[in-house]
Chain A
Amino acid sequence: MTVYLFAILGFFAILSALMVVLTKNPIHSILYLVLTFFAIAGEYVLLNAQFLAIVNIIVYAGAIMVLFLFVVMLLNLNEETEPHKSVLRKLIAVIAAGLLLVVLVGSLKGADNMSIKPFSQNTGLIENLGKVLFNDFLLPFEVSAVLFLAAMVGAVMLGKKDIK
């Protein structure tokens, strides 16, 4: 049962991720990206990480993608007004994406040898997550909080029309 669900969700995730790149209309791309996030959230639920699944939906599907939609709708991008891209730029994009693929494959290559902890019902519970975050990973957690604060202040600064 779990294996079938995993396969179905994985199929949808990959299919909609491909459609993000392949569709011409930017709004459709964004909506396919939202579908991808939902499929990935489904995979998280299968791993018993409900908190991660819900946060994935709230943050990515619910906030970031809505802002993407906002921008695309306001710019009124569509098929007719799509700027023509030169071959050189396409080539550069392909090489950059290919390098990213190499990095990802390279970093995941050693994953076979890693010891996997046995599955337990408590893995994804929010209490355990909180304990791990505030004990073992306190410094990275606080540093990322500072990073978010800096990003927020930066956004407010950019949003101001005239800075005196």
Chain B
Amino acid sequence: MGISLFILYKVILVVAVFAISLVIAMYSTYAERKVAAFMQDRLGPNRAGPFGILQPLADGVKMFMKEEIIPQVSNKFLFILGPSIAMFTSCITGAVIPWGTSLHIAGHDFTLQVTDINIGILYVMAITSIGVYGIMIGGWASNNKYSLLGALRASSQMISYEVAMGLAIIALVMTTGTLSLRDIAAQQTGWHWNLFYQPLGFIIFLICAFAETNRTPFDLPESDSELIGGYHTEYSSMKLGFYLFAEYINMFISSAIISTLYFGGYNMPFIGRLGLSHNLEAILGIVFLFAKIFFFIFFFMWVRWTVPRFRFDQLMNLGWKILIPLSIFNVAITGFIILMFHR
């Protein structure tokens, strides 16, 4: 493959991943309102276009048109930097996710992954931990007590749940023996999904994913009724939009990561027996991956409109006193089983 062709293919892939993340996040806002409406026996948005399908566009236009307010006393650069970091970190995680196997076109092998770094999972962890800065900087630069307290709340929640998440990943890495997301996805052919080898790890990871994306029952950073919006109280217009939109992109990306780590990624049982051509199988793999992702996005919404939110002390107790000991136990038991039965 020539260097110019390589660059062209990577650019196309990056743009495609970026565009798909944005479009899915956009329609997640619509889906969220439809799911909420369904659960509460309402109709949901139905005015803009057929079935309200243009509602996200209308929301976007509304966000752009609103008056933009930057508090006089706050640091203007940091005030703008906050939502930018939130948006940036949620967009760049998609680079390491394997969206499918590979496509053979005109004698070349095009891998459906932007980059396969051999430490893929750690990259995801690093980006998650950087995401805290968006909230902290935004909350601090607002120069408002409520924003600052909201930011501290949000970041302490994210830091606490990162620990349990990291320990759940350690147990997973012990069974897979690799940190590359591509290898982890490739190992899970047929029914060899990591879910069956790491059921406890999966539950811990899922709970932590809810906490990291600030979704109910862990949406304490926002909790509109008590904190007046938390860290983004002072934000308006598209800067507020960036914070809210970043949450939906995070939801999409974490659904993709959960599917890749525990639910076989692009693999589907029995697909190898049908004797399909390589390209068709790869395309079906993408479809399967997205079906799993959509299921998890729905699951995020399902939980949001079913469960009430925690109190803050309950959240901290769950994180530090239940999830971390459980995940350490999971690491220990995984190590024990590997040592006993797989030598």
Contacts and interface: CB of A to CB of B under 8 A. Distances in A.
Interface in A39-80: 50-51, 54-55, 57-58, 61-63, 66, 69-70, 73-74
A62 B130 contact: yes
A61 B129 contact: yes
Nearest to A67: B159
Interface stretch (B17-25, B118-126, B234-242, B284-292): B118-126
A69 B130 CA distance: 13
B171 interface: no
A153 interface: no
B140 A54 contact: no
Interface of A: 27, 31, 34, 50-51, 54-55, 57-58, 61-63, 66, 69-70, 73-74, 125-126
A34 B140 CA distance: 16
Interface of A is mostly: helix
Contacts of A73: 136, 140, 148, 151-152
A66 B133 contact: yes
Interface string B137-155: 1001000000010011001
A63 B122 CA distance: 14
Lowest 10 A-B CB distances belong to which pairs? A62-B129, A54-B122, A57-B126, A58-B126, A54-B126, A50-B119, A54-B119, A66-B132, A69-B136, A51-B119
A66 B152 contact: no
Given A55-B122, A66-B133, 10 more contacts: A27-B78, A51-B122, A57-B130, A58-B125, A61-B126, A62-B128, A66-B129, A70-B155, A74-B152, A126-B118
A73 B143 CA distance: 11
20 contacts: A31-B137, A34-B133, A50-B117, A50-B118, A50-B119, A51-B119, A54-B119, A54-B122, A57-B126, A58-B125, A58-B126, A62-B128, A62-B162, A66-B129, A66-B136, A66-B155, A70-B155, A70-B156, A73-B151, A126-B119
Contacts of B123: 54
B142 to A, nearest CB: 12
Contacts, number: 58
B87 interface: no
A62 B136 contact: no
A75 B155 CA distance: 16
A26 to B, nearest CB: 11
Nearest to B173: A126
Contacts of B159: 63, 66
B124 to A, nearest CB: 10
Nearest to B117: A50
Interface string B232-260: 00000000000000000000000000000
Contacts of B155: 66, 69-70
B168 interface: no
A28 to B, nearest CB: 8
Contacts of A57: 126, 129-130
Contacts of A62: 125-126, 128-130, 132, 162
Nearest to A65: B133
B179 interface: yes
Looking at B123, B129, B152, B162, the one whose CB has the most chain A CB atoms below 10 A away is: B129
A63 B243 CA distance: 22
B122 A58 contact: yes
Nearest to A27: B140
B74 to A, nearest CB: 12
A14 B125 CA distance: 27
A54 B169 CA distance: 15
Interface string B269-311: 0000000000000000000000000000000000000000000
Contacts of A55: 122
Contacts of B162: 62
Nearest to A73: B140
A58 B179 CA distance: 15
A51 B129 CA distance: 16
A156 to B, nearest CB: 10
Nearest to B179: A126
